[in-house]
């Protein structure tokens, strides 16, 4: 395919139905931000929402705000605001804890729903926390898809209790066919858990329509909830009565203020809560969800594919291998290019204000967030990359020395 031109970029941006969203974010003028798949940008009204939470709800409302400012309802309320983004009916999502903690809860709950079966399947290339948690939950019974070249079909058998997969792979950006994989896993009698960290806010997700059993996802990436924003957890309503999660704290109790010495799980999704929510970070996610309330995810997907294919075209001439699928239906919202000095190249780009990130061992990862990235940005980033590679500026010791990874 031919390299895209500036005119093409400007024409696509002029016709972009999402272009108005960029002004709803505060981004530094000298930065081209392609890392919203790691930490989303700051919505312009978030500081005011945080100020309100701190000064009014906490400062003036004090303890009364649990009821009067709706603090108590936030875990379920924010869950219901995320629900349309992931194709869930209300009442099946709570916002709480971190993705890692929520993984522990849903994996254990899912295993307990399949007594008599003992193996838990996850994928070798998954984000490490997913691997570590499957090991933590079922140390002796974990199978790794991809370790010995086995396919999912070969691994699934009458002993498989749970399968955990990422909807979009954090490193390659490969998108799984959620409907087909869920159906295959469930046909074997196992339960399906999806990690949505790299798909929520990046593309339409259809948990209910695909029949997913459980899912977890992250608030600080594409959702733009802020650093360390709380995560979310989805459990299909059909599992609510029988599901028993292991972190049985008082927030998941049927009557937390009865102060009973015995645990009795709340009805519905509330039983997946554990303890007092970190409300200051809930305010950041709450503000971010105001933006998402008016976003059409079909438009997000169309623009995301346009941005990623534009970047692939714009960087084709550099001859870099990519681990990201070129087929649209198999790609999330990122492009990962490979280079033997990937770390240094990413640092050299960051020094020029083009922020992507590096992932072991040789991956330069560029995330495309349709609400605030344009086709002109994509072209600028591709040109900066070409310049860094051609000038070999990445060989400067400032860039080759490994420090903390962004």
Ligand X SMILES: Cc1ncc(COP(=O)(O)O)c(C=O)c1O
Residues of this chain, 44-103, that bind ligand X according to CB under 6 A:
98-100
**Rounded least distance, CB 110 to ligand X, Å:** 16
Residue with nearest beta carbon to ligand X: 100
For residue 338, state whether it binds ligand X (rule: CB under 6 A): no
Cβ(346)–Cβ(10) below 8 Å: no
Q: What is the contact mask toward ligand X in residues 28 to 47, using x (rule: CB under 6 A)? A: --------------------
H/E run at residue 336: strand 334-338
Is 127 assigned a catalytic role? Answer: yes
**Rounded least distance, CB 217 to ligand X, Å:** 8
Q: Figure out which of the listed residues 104, 141, 170, 311 binds ligand X, where binding follows CB under 6 A.
A: 170
Q: Which of 33, 170, 214, 220 is catalytic?
A: 220
In angstroms, the CA 285 to CA 128 distance is: 24
Q: Which of 76, 171, 221, 359 is catalytic?
A: 221
Residues of this chain, 99-158, that bind ligand X according to CB under 6 A:
99-100, 127, 129-130
In angstroms, the CA 352 to CA 265 distance is: 53
Is 282 assigned a catalytic role? Answer: no
**Rounded least distance, CB 273 to ligand X, Å:** 16
In angstroms, the CA 395 to CA 348 distance is: 9
**Rounded least distance, CB 120 to ligand X, Å:** 16
Residue nearer to ligand X on the CB measure, 81 or 198: 198
Is 221 assigned a catalytic role? Answer: yes
For residue 393, state whether it binds ligand X (rule: CB under 6 A): no
Cβ-Cβ contacts under 8 Å for 185 (sequence gap 6 or more): 152, 156, 160, 163, 191, 192
In the structure encoding, which two tokens stand for residue 253, read together?
């109790």
Q: Figure out which of the listed residues 57, 80, 195, 213 binds ligand X, where binding follows CB under 6 A.
A: 195
Q: In angstroms, what CA-CA distances link 197 with 130, 202, 236, 243, 381?
A: 11, 9, 18, 23, 24
Q: Figure out which of the listed residues 197, 210, 381, 382 binds ligand X, where binding follows CB under 6 A.
A: 197
**Rounded least distance, CB 68 to ligand X, Å:** 31
Beta-carbon neighbour count of residue 131 at 10 Å?
17
For residue 218, state whether it binds ligand X (rule: CB under 6 A): yes
Among the residues of 15-98, which ranges form H helices? 46-51, 65-68, 74-82
Residue nearer to ligand X on the CB measure, 229 or 371: 229
In angstroms, the CA 365 to CA 287 distance is: 27
Of 153, 154, 118, nearest in space to 137 by CA: 118
Q: What is residue 275's DSSP assignment? A: S
Q: Which of 21, 25, 33, 127 is catalytic?
A: 127
Is 365 assigned a catalytic role? Answer: yes
According to DSSP, the β-strands at 142-145 and 119-123 are parallel
Residue nearer to ligand X on the CB measure, 197 or 212: 197
Residues with a known catalytic role: 127, 195, 220-221, 365
Q: Which residues form the interface with ligand X (CB under 6 A)?
A: 98-100, 127, 129-130, 166, 170, 195, 197-198, 218, 231
């Amino acid at each position: 395919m031919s390299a895209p031109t500036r005119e093409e970029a400007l024409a696509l941006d002029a016709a972009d139905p999402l272009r108005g969203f960029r002004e709803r974010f505060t981004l530094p003028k000298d930065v081209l931000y392609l890392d919203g798949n790691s930490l989303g940008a700051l919505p312009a009204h978030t500081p005011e929402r945080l100020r309100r939470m701190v000064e009014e709800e906490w400062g003036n409302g004090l303890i009364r705000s649990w009821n009067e400012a709706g603090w108590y309802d936030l875990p379920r309320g924010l869950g219901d605001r995320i629900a349309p983004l992931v194709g869930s009916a209300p009442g099946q999502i709570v916002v709480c804890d971190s993705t890692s903690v929520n993984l522990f809860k849903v994996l254990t709950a899912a295993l307990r729903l399949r007594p008599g079966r003992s193996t838990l399947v996850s994928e070798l290339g998954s984000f490490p926390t997913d691997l570590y948690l499957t090991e933590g939950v079922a140390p002796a019974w974990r199978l790794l898809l991809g370790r010995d070249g086995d396919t999912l079909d070969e691994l699934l058998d009458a002993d498989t209790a749970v399968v955990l997969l990422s909807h979009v792979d954090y490193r390659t950006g490969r998108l799984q066919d959620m409907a087909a994989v869920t159906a295959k896993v469930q046909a074997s009698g196992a339960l399906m858990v999806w990690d949505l960290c790299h798909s929520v806010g990046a593309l339409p997700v259809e948990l209910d329509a695909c029949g997913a059993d459980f899912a977890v996802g992250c608030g600080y990436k594409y959702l733009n909830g802020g650093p360390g924003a709380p995560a979310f957890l989805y459990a299909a309503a059909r599992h609510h009565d029988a599901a028993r999660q292991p972190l049985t704290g008082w927030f998941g109790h049927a009557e937390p203020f009865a102060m009973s010495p015995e645990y009795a799980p709340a009805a519905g999704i509330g039983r997946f809560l554990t303890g007092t929510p970190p409300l200051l970070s809930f305010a950041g996610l709450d503000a971010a969800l105001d933006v998402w309330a008016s976003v059409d995810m079909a438009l997000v997907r169309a623009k995301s594919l346009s941005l990623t294919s534009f970047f692939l075209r714009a960087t084709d001439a550099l001859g870099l291998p990519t681990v990201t699928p070129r087929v649209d239906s198999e790609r999330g919202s990122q492009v990962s290019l490979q280079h033997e000095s990937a770390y240094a190249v990413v640092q050299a780009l960051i020094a020029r204000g083009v922020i992507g990130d590096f992932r072991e061992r040789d991956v330069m990862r560029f995330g495309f967030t349709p609400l605030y990235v344009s086709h002109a940005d994509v072209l600028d980033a591709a040109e900066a990359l070409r310049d860094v590679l051609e000038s070999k500026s990445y060989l400067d010791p400032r860039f080759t020395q490994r420090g903390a990874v962004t």
